[in-house]
Amino acid sequence: MAKIGITETVLRDAHQSLIATRMRTEEFVDILPQMDKIGYHSLECWGGATFDACLRFLDEDPWERLRTIRKKCPDTKLQMLFRGQNMLGYRHYSDEVVDYFVKKSIDNGIDILRIFDALNDVRNLETAINAANKYGGHVQAAISYTTGPVFDVDYYCHYAKQLENAGASSICIKDMAGLLTPYGTYDLVKALKETVNIPIQLHTHYTSGLASMVLLKGIEAGVDVIDTAMSPLAMGTSHPATESMVAALKGTEYDTELDLKALSEVRDFFAPLRQKYLDNGLLDPKMLGVDANTLLYQVPGGMLSNLNSQLKQAGKEDQLEEVLAEVPRVRKDAGYPPLVTPSSQIVGTQAVFNVIMGERYKMVTKEFKDLVAGKYGATPCKIDPEFQKKIVGDDEIITCRPADLLNDTIEQFKSEISEYYEQEEDVLSYAQFGQVAVKFFEKRRDKKYGLDGKHDNIETKVHPV
């Protein structure tokens, strides 16, 4: 048995899960050289919602963040989360744009791309997988784990084989909602190890309180790498603590060979940051507890906070239980999509509308209509044709790969931002985030020329992060 690898998530998913991705580069940059010496399998530090948050909330260039981490961590593999044909945005993009984004991610320092699709539709991963292999990246194809009538071990083994055949170099079980149970994990990992001939990595969240046990049983079943977070930003809706898992495996056949004393120094750096986030309200103590509703309703922690926020804005906070009960019903109607970005937001928002309108599907969001119409890809279960007709009306049902209908080009996006263009990567920021990116470009330009950076005339649509 080889040693267990550790992917450290404190620079990306840990703070995305706990403080809505608000950690600034300047807050962690000083600890990077020490983290580079730890011996992690990889640092998960980019992608997911970090790109959006940098532009929208932090006035940071996400590309500059990546280059800074790369410079400070020359000896550790850098890893990102990539939403397949969605890249880091909330809709599908053309193959040309996806290919270019993968290239620039690798050019700027990414080694491992964890690529997933919200519907587990392998067609939505092929372009990104091919591009990552073409440009020399490591493709880690992820299974979006969920529960439901079709999601048994055979389903996941079949999908894993599809991913391996598509060109994946490793497989990640991505349990974004903390739904895995210890013994279920053991059986799943055992079956996957017998199905594919590439490494298996295990990613889970502590939301339901089972994550440490899930990792331990996964390791016993043959998992090669696990995701953990430094303890100040671990637990709750985040991940098991790095130091705890390293200590649990020390002296066993699964020993990570990481130095607890060195990890303690990294922990001491992040501890004051945790306190800072508690003091300024970014870190809600509720996010640090165990929420059994996760197992009942299959609602990820981040989605739960979004539902709370939407109900609060509508003055209907007292209807949270009704919304939580409605989420599985909407999910069933929509073909049982796994609840991960963007499907979690789509299903959750529709559930909120169904409850506050007092009538199911009286009002339907554009995104839900697109999901039911096949514009995000094939759902795991077929959608009832009568329901489809009710939601979509006379609009066309898409059965091809959605990206086959797209033809947006790099040149087109480049021409639209010619007045702001400073680096090749700007076109990709704009392609995904439109006016949010333009607002950032304006502030960047104003700083350069010493202006005040106020541009209140630009409207931005706030997406849940």
Query: Could you give the CA distance from residue 219 to residue 41 in angstroms, rounded to a whole number?
Result: 15
Which pLDDT belongs to residue 452? 58
Query: Could you give the CA distance from residue 91 to residue 84 in angstroms, rounded to a whole number?
Result: 10
The residue segments making up the domain with residue 321 are: 299-405
Which pLDDT belongs to residue 265? 97
Query: Could you give the CA distance from residue 377 to residue 382 in angstroms, rounded to a whole number?
Result: 12
Specify whether 417 is located in the same domain as 385: no
Mean pLDDT of all residues in 255-276:
98
Confirm if 402 and 377 have CB atoms less than 8 A apart. yes
Specify whether 197 is located in the same domain as 263: yes
* Residue 76 within a domain: yes
* Residue 459 within a domain: no
* Residue 112 within a domain: yes
Peptide bond connecting 240 to the previous residue in cis, omega within 30 degrees of 0: no
Which pLDDT belongs to residue 306? 73
Percent of the chain exceeding pLDDT 70 equals 96
Specify whether 398 is located in the same domain as 427: no
* Residue 463 within a domain: no
Q: Indicate whether 93 pLDDT > 60.
A: yes
Specify whether 272 is located in the same domain as 349: no
* Residue 291 within a domain: no
Which SS3 state, helix, strand or coil, does residue 208 take? Answer: helix
Specify whether 158 is located in the same domain as 306: no
Query: Could you give the CA distance from residue 123 to residue 130 in angstroms, rounded to a whole number?
Result: 12
The C-alpha torsion from 373 through 304 and 351 to 462, rounded to 10°, is: -60
* Residue 65: other Cβ atoms inside 10 A: 22
Which pLDDT belongs to residue 309? 75
Peptide bond connecting 342 to the previous residue in cis, omega within 30 degrees of 0: yes
Specify whether 113 is located in the same domain as 12: yes
Q: What is the CATH number of the domain that holds 271?
A: 3.20.20.70
Please list the alpha-helical segments (H only) found in 95-196. Answer: 95-107, 126-134, 153-166, 182-195
Q: What is the CATH number of the domain that holds 359?
A: 1.10.472.90
Q: Which of 238, 218, 219, 239 is closest to 228 using CA atoms? A: 239
Which pLDDT belongs to residue 455? 43
Which SS3 state, helix, strand or coil, does residue 383 take? Answer: coil
Question: At 307, is the pLDDT very low, low, confident or very high (cuts 50, 70, 90)?
Answer: confident
pLDDT, tens digit, for every residue of 162-178?
999 999 999 999 999 89
Question: At 212, is the pLDDT very low, low, confident or very high (cuts 50, 70, 90)?
Answer: very high
Query: Could you give the CA distance from residue 189 to residue 76 in angstroms, rounded to a whole number?
Result: 26
Number of domains composing the chain:
3
Which pLDDT belongs to residue 414? 96
Task: Please report, for residues 12, 77, 138, the alpha-carbon distance to residue 106 in angstroms, rounded to integers and kept in the order given.
Answer: 17, 11, 10
Mean pLDDT of all residues belonging to the chain: 93
Specify whether 41 is located in the same domain as 177: yes
Specify whether 416 is located in the same domain as 430: yes
Specify whether 258 is located in the same domain as 280: yes
* Residue 457 within a domain: no
pLDDT, tens digit, for every residue of 20-51?
899 999 999 999 999 999 999 999 999 999 99
More confident residue, 260 or 463: 260
DSSP string, 218-275: HHHHT--EEEEB-GGG-STTS--BHHHHHHHHTTSTT-----HHHHHHHHHHHHHHHH
Which SS3 state, helix, strand or coil, does residue 78 take? Answer: strand
* Residue 293 within a domain: no
Specify whether 339 is located in the same domain as 355: yes
pLDDT, tens digit, for every residue of 325-351?
899 999 999 999 999 888 988 999 999
Q: Indicate whether 303 pLDDT > 80.
A: no
Mean pLDDT of all residues in 77-90:
96
Contacts (Cβ under 8 Å, ≥6 apart) of 295: 179, 208
What count of Cα atoms within 13 Å lies in the side-chain half-sphere of residue 414? 9
Query: Could you give the CA distance from residue 129 to residue 162 in angstroms, rounded to a whole number?
Result: 12
Specify whether 181 is located in the same domain as 266: yes
Which pLDDT belongs to residue 313? 83
Specify whether 61 is located in the same domain as 130: yes
* Residue 326 within a domain: yes
